[in-house]
Chain A
Amino acid sequence: QKEVEQNSGPLSVPEGAIASLNCTYSDRGSQSFFWYRQYSGKSPELIMFIYSNGDKEDGRFTAQLNKASQYVSLLIRDSQPSDSATYLCAVGLTGTASKLTFGTGTRLQVTL
């Protein structure tokens, strides 16, 4: 059983719409949650992190965490073609030297 699950996509949204990316994790001891963006041929880039239940907003990005449901999501408002990328969800346990478990990513396509 995968520890961090994401729908591989592609998720296609029109420009200006809200893109909603979802991630579930299996380890209830998980304490830290991250979203990375990866453009084709490039390395992952950290864009959001969240540690507590609820929402965290940063510009057009909102991360949502529900530990009871073991669910993390990333909302991208006013989606732009430049947001087209693969989004990786990563989950960490405390006391593990920041070791993370990554999902396989969701490919987002923002269409004109």
Chain B
Amino acid sequence: DVKVTQSSRYLVKRTGEKVFLECVQDMDHENMFWYRQDPGLGLRLIYFSYDVKMKEKGDIPEGYSVSREKKERFSLILESASTNQTSMYLCASSSGQGNGQYFGPGTRLTVT
């Protein structure tokens, strides 16, 4: 079974803090993704990576950056957290082309 883990289930941070969210997958998947999910807006892609050190912007990259130094690990960084970044953050991974994505449990981030 594919296992995707995320560093925290719940996180509370203050406005202006730098926030790191980590995701690890154990299935040697090439592709990894970061989404945020908000009521009524669905899943929105922030960034994705198709190889180590490779990254591409998704639909809403502003205010975020990512790092992929190892194949199994994909980090999402909020450079200066703001209240409008309060959300559920979901990491996913997949192999090859045209395959389904497998999600981690999510991190519910609250920025106060």
A and B co-occur in one complex: yes
Contact bitstring A31-51, B, C-beta under 8 A = 1, else 0 = 110100000001111100101
Contact bitstring A57-93, B, C-beta under 8 A = 1, else 0 = 0000000000000000000000000000000101010
Q: A43-B104, A98-B101 known; 11 other A-B pairs, CB under 8 Å?
A: A34-B101, A42-B106, A44-B103, A88-B43, A90-B100, A92-B98, A94-B97, A98-B95, A99-B48, A100-B100, A103-B42
Give the nearest-CB partner of A44 in chain B: B103
* Interface: A25 (CB within 8 A): no
Are B45 and A32 interface neighbours, CB within 8 A? no
Knowing A43-B90, A45-B103, A99-B48, say if A94 contacts B42 (CB, 8 Å): no
**Size class of A's contact patch?**
20 to 34
**Size class of B's contact patch?**
20 to 34
Provide the bound-state CA to CA distance between A105 and B38, in Å. 12
Counting residue pairs across A and B whose Cβ atoms lie within 8 Å, the total is 59
Set of chain B residues within 8 Å of A112, measured between Cβ atoms: none
Give the shortest distance, in Å, between A45 (CB) and chain B (any CB).
7
Give the shortest distance, in Å, between B52 (CB) and chain A (any CB).
13
* Interface: B31 (CB within 8 A): yes
Contact bitstring B39-53, A, C-beta under 8 A = 1, else 0 = 011110100101000
Knowing A92-B98, A95-B97, say if A104 contacts B103 (CB, 8 Å): no
* The residue from B45, B48, B100 contacting A46, defined by CB atoms under 8 A apart: B100
Give the shortest distance, in Å, between A81 (CB) and chain B (any CB).
23
Set of chain B residues within 8 Å of A44, measured between Cβ atoms: 43, 90, 103
Knowing A99-B45, A102-B42, say if A31 contacts B103 (CB, 8 Å): no
Knowing A97-B31, A97-B50, A99-B48, say if A46 contacts B42 (CB, 8 Å): no
* Interface: B75 (CB within 8 A): no
* The residue from B31, B43, B98 contacting A31, defined by CB atoms under 8 A apart: B98
